[in-house]
Homo-oligomer: A and B are copies of this chain.
Amino acid sequence: MDPRLKAFFEPESVAVIGASRNPRKIGHIIVSQMIKAGFRGKLFPVNPKATEISGLKAYPSILDVPEEVDLAIISIPARFTVQVVEQCGKKGVKAVVVVSGGFSETGNERLERDLVREARKWGIRLMGPNCMGVYSPSSNVDMLFTPDDVLPRAPEGNVAVLSQSGSLAAGLMTMLAKQEVGVSRFISYGNAADVNEADLLEYLAQDEESKVIALYIEGLREGRRFMEVAREISTQKPVVVMKGGWGKAGMRAVKSHTGSLAGNKEVYDAALKQCGAIKVQTLEEFVDVCMCLASQPPAQGKRVGIITNGGGYGVISVDFLEDKGLEIPSLPKELEEELTKELPPFYTIGNPLDLTGSCTAEQYRVATKAMLDSDGIDCVMVIALMSAPMVNPPRLIDYLIELGRSRKKPLIVISLEATEEITKELRRLKLAGIPYYTDPARGARAIVALTRFGEVRRR
């Protein structure tokens, strides 16, 4: 791992080149977001025409900054970037983020090559160009140039998110924030002219803040190296990948978007599978899967136990799980006997276990505990429709939190945000690290990811 990469995530001093006094300019927003994020290091706005920006002393050029600079964030017209990187080199900057667009993604390959050559000449690692850069809540770094009042940030957590595409980065951030999925490092790395997926994976492999690594990729600059790094890391930390641009028209769209070749779907699928990645298809699945991998242990096998208080929900959950290659085994004899003893005689003891519309929070506790304790079950899906009359939502949530605490095997919940009270209780469940999904199909995809990670780990 290249130690210079640390400067992107935990810099001690940052210069913003192209800082602006105009609050609508990117160069202004970056400075103000860094301040808002509570950045603890030194922050140096650079602008030849200003003496002060957002209350900080501004410098005409980076060479005028009187102290050492770890990281420079560059937001100036593309044609000036090469000479500014040269100045960064002279200054001894370790890493630069080039936010500016106007490079290979608009056909300007040559300028991009010049930019990289200049950075390498000085031993600088370069992120971008054409990117948003980094949001790293634990180190109070936030250089995303869309202000957090229009693009709310995800809370601090353990999921590292990488996206080539800036718009998808923004979209994912919105979705992660809404679902309150915590992130460690959030990286929009754009054209990947220098720092690419393989570099970032290597860094995140040893990054203690990051337990889950999730990427949106279109093309890969160093495919082979990426796959090698991914194969190594994926047994330790789950690597979630969403690949964009696999159709005919999709490849055309990628070409004009990030200027990289999208490659054949089958080739990518096979390679990603081989290197232990967990493939997701949609943005919703991306976030759903990150949420469960961040908090739940991997599944040691494919046998799912389902507890429900709605027969139809049991039926469709079985459909989704089976369709994804999971098993819904008959209950082991001891488990069946235990449940028969503990539950009312008119319940049909099976898998799914239908507690019926008249069940109570206590019966959920009995059933969930028995399934979690059983050797015949690898993962428990609890479907809890809390509009049912006898379910006491706060008590049920208490029980589930208590039972889920051991993290012996995955426990995920399917429920509906039917009322404000129920939504509040479900949020409590989620914040305790037990994910819930409002559609069994989404829950099934989350279980697939936990099972896949279990398989990869056992390699």
Q: Which residues of A contact B (CB under 8 A)?
A: 24, 105-106, 146, 149-152, 163-171, 174-175, 178, 216, 218, 242, 244-250, 252-254, 256-258, 281-284, 308-316, 318-320, 322-323, 328, 346, 348, 350-352, 354, 357, 385-389, 416-419, 422, 438-442
Contact = CB atoms under 8 A, between A and B. Distances in A.
Contacts of A249: 318, 322, 328, 351
A218 B387 contact: no
25 contacts: A106-B346, A146-B388, A151-B387, A151-B418, A165-B312, A166-B357, A167-B310, A167-B313, A167-B357, A167-B385, A171-B310, A174-B416, A244-B315, A244-B319, A245-B316, A245-B319, A247-B322, A247-B323, A250-B316, A250-B319, A253-B352, A254-B315, A257-B354, A258-B311, A284-B442
A352 to B, nearest CB: 6
Nearest to A262: B315
Contacts of A171: 310, 312-313, 385, 416
A167 to B, nearest CB: 2
B316 A387 contact: no
A150 B415 CA distance: 13
A149 B389 CA distance: 12
A216 B319 CA distance: 14
Given A150-B419, A166-B310, A171-B310, A315 B350 contact: no
Contacts of A438: 175, 284
A314 B170 contact: no
A150 to B, nearest CB: 4
Given A151-B387, A283-B439, A416-B175, A244 B312 contact: yes
List 9 tightest A-B contacts by C-beta distance, closest first: A167-B310, A165-B312, A247-B322, A257-B311, A168-B312, A282-B441, A249-B328, A150-B387, A250-B318
Most buried by B among A242, A388, A416: A416
Nearest to A390: B24
Q: Which of A168, A249, A254 has the most CB of B within 10 A?
A: A249
A406 B152 CA distance: 35
A175 B244 CA distance: 29
A418 B313 contact: no
A442 B283 CA distance: 10
A287 B440 CA distance: 14
A307 to B, nearest CB: 13
A216 B151 CA distance: 38
A389 B28 CA distance: 13
Contacts of A328: 249
Given A167-B313, A250-B315, A283-B440, 15 more contacts: A149-B419, A150-B422, A152-B419, A168-B316, A170-B385, A171-B312, A247-B323, A250-B318, A253-B314, A256-B354, A257-B312, A282-B439, A282-B440, A283-B439, A284-B439
Contacts of A351: 249
A254 B439 CA distance: 19
Contacts of A422: 150
Nearest to A218: B315
A105 B357 CA distance: 14
Contacts of A441: 281-284
A418 B250 contact: no
Contacts of A315: 165, 218, 244-245, 250, 253-254, 257
B312 A256 contact: no
Nearest to A327: B249
Nearest to A328: B249
